[in-house]
Structure 1
Amino acid sequence: MLVGIGLGIIIGVVSMFRYNLDKSMSREKIEEKARVLGMDYHEEFKVINKKEVE
């Protein structure tokens, strides 16, 4: 049983080293995705109170 756990750890470590960690996004892409999910800036709502609209 310990041999199986050891082999599993070794296989897991080897697969982690092969994984590409270069998955970064630019600030523009992050903001674009956040806006799709509903992000708002307080500066955009100077006149309308968002709680009153709902």
Structure 2
Amino acid sequence: FTVFGGSLSYAHAQKIVKVQDMALRMGAPVIGVFDAGGARIQEGVASLGGYAEVFQRNV
């Protein structure tokens, strides 16, 4: 939590989504523990959209 308070940016969310999609195509499990300081407020709604994409793939 030393960099930007551990918040998730849109770019980082896209990296997570890319790995999730790749695992789905390959039939591989993804085990993840999400611990963050929330969405990066400086990015506005874009970072919240990133969170939505990550969590949508967890369902």
Greater relative CO, 1 or 2 (CA 8 Å, sep 6+): 2
Larger Rg: 1
Comparing both structures, which one devotes a greater share of its residues to helix? 1
TM range (shorter): 0.3 to 0.5
TM (norm. structure 1) is 0.34
TM (norm. structure 2) is 0.31
